[in-house]
Structure 1
């Protein structure tokens, strides 16, 4: 199951990184009222992307810490979907194009699978 988790983590990482690229297009810093504009947004993503990629290494190594990183990443994907659906239901136009929606829905599905796999491995 650890091998499957590695690939699911990889897929979710790609989806979430693509979502963050999409977020720059939609100026997500305005949506979440983050300071610093694009500069602040990019600076925030340096440690975030390091975290995501380092977690992939830890999952590959089948470490306990990798499972914790995996759980955090899966919850991040669930949060991304939920937060953006909230804003869409509030009437915001960001992230409503088909590709943005595809990325968000795919992220939710993969994040749920990842959380399931991760929790099963943590309980072993």
Structure 2
């Protein structure tokens, strides 16, 4: 099952990274009222992307810490979907393109699957 989690994690990581690229296009820091603009947004993504990619390595190695990071990544994907759905329902124009919505819905799906597989391996 660890091999399956690796591939699910990889697909979800690709979706999440593409969502973050889309987030830069939509100037997400404004949506969440983050100070610092694009500079802080990009600076924060160095450790975030490191953890996501390192977690994939740890999952591949069968590490317990990889499962913990997998849990964090899957919950992050679910949060991304819920947060952006909230903004969309409030009438915000960001993330309304077909591709943005496809990425968010796919992220939700793979995040739920990743969460289930991760929890199965943890318990």
Q: Deviations over 1:9-28 (max 9, x none)?
A: 00000000000000000000
In structure 1, what is the equivalent of residue 73 of structure 2?
73
Runs (5+) with no aligned partner, structure 1: none
TM-score by length of 1: 0.98
Q: Deviations over 1:33-88 (max 9, x none)?
A: 01111111000100000010000000000111100000000000000000000000
Measured in 1, the distance between the counterparts of 2:52 and 2:35 equals: 23
SS of equivalent residue, structure 1 residue 78: helix
Aligned residues: 123
Measured in 1, the distance between the counterparts of 2:34 and 2:58 equals: 30
Shift of 1:32: 0.3
In structure 2, what is the equivalent of residue 10 of structure 1?
10
Shift of 1:114: 0.2
Runs (5+) with no aligned partner, structure 2: none
Q: Deviations over 1:82-115 (max 9, x none)?
A: 0000000011010011000000000000000000
Measured in 2, the distance between the counterparts of 1:35 and 1:45 equals: 15
In structure 1, what is the equivalent of residue 96 of structure 2?
96
Measured in 2, the distance between the counterparts of 1:63 and 1:106 equals: 26
Measured in 1, the distance between the counterparts of 2:37 and 2:64 equals: 36
Segments of 4+ in structure 1 off by > 6 A? none
